[in-house]
Chains A and B, each alone.
Chain A
Amino acid sequence: HSGLTQAPSASGTPGQRVTISCSGSTSNIGSNSVNWYQQLPGTAPKLLMYDNNQRPSGVPDRFSGSKSGTSASLAISGLQSEDEADYYCAAWDDSLNGAVFGGGTQLTVL
């Protein structure tokens, strides 16, 4: 498997801060920017973060992104029930000459 690595699940209580991590290599995260997608049940994915830490218009500032070396993180502060979704990281891979996704993290709001 040549994709990015994410923990399969994460959880938090309302109001809490949760971090979702994404691990890659020098050919993908180490060389290129990371994007994050949120997929609510039964819907198409939605762009949540681009260029490591940039929020598209309409995405609340509760969501933030960061990258260091060959890893990236998505943080959600002030967790809300509507944040319950699957979250995917993605990056271009120079060795594969193509994009790669992480395996996704299912976030549960307890």
Chain B
Amino acid sequence: QVTLRESGPALVKPTQTLTLTCSFSGFSLTSSGMCVSWIRQPPGKALEWLALIDWEDDKYYNIEMKTRLTISKDTSNNQVVLTVANMDPVDTATYYCARIVIAETGTNFGLDVWGQGTTVTVSS
């Protein structure tokens, strides 16, 4: 059974760096085709894709936030970490991590398993 769980601070101050951890089980990020993405959702607003890391350690970022985001993986502990620098109140959101599988054929199987999300509020 594949599961993912997000963890991190519920409250951060403006200008601080947010560090979120996605702990997963049921798959390995060293297996071909396996990827983990981060997505966020401000209160009452739409989903916003943030970043993706794949089994080859390739990293992809939301172009509008690229300078502030860093994604990394710890395969021995089955974790993916996302840092968001220079947090602002507009970054208040629920942050999700989710697995995505890409077949060798290129078929994108979608974000098939999501964590429950962790809510982060940015306020002084």
Contact = CB atoms under 8 A, between A and B. Distances in A.
Interface of A: 2-3, 32-33, 35, 37, 39, 44-47, 49-51, 56, 88, 90, 92, 96-104
A35 to B, nearest CB: 4
Given A44-B116, A46-B114, A101-B47, 8 more contacts: A2-B63, A35-B108, A45-B96, A47-B110, A50-B109, A51-B108, A99-B60, A101-B46
Interface of B: 37, 39, 46-49, 52, 60-64, 96, 107-112, 114-117
Contact of A45 (B63, B109, B114): B114
A97 B115 CA distance: 24
B63 A44 contact: no
Contacts of B62: 98
A76 B106 CA distance: 27
A92 to B, nearest CB: 7
Contacts of B111: 35, 37, 45, 47, 90
A103 B47 CA distance: 7
Contacts of B61: 98
A106 B73 CA distance: 35
Contacts of B47: 37, 39, 45, 88, 90, 101, 104
Contacts of A47: 110-112
Q: Name which of A3, A99, A102 has the most chain B CB atoms within 10 A of its CB.
A: A99
B18 to A, nearest CB: 19
A75 to B, nearest CB: 18
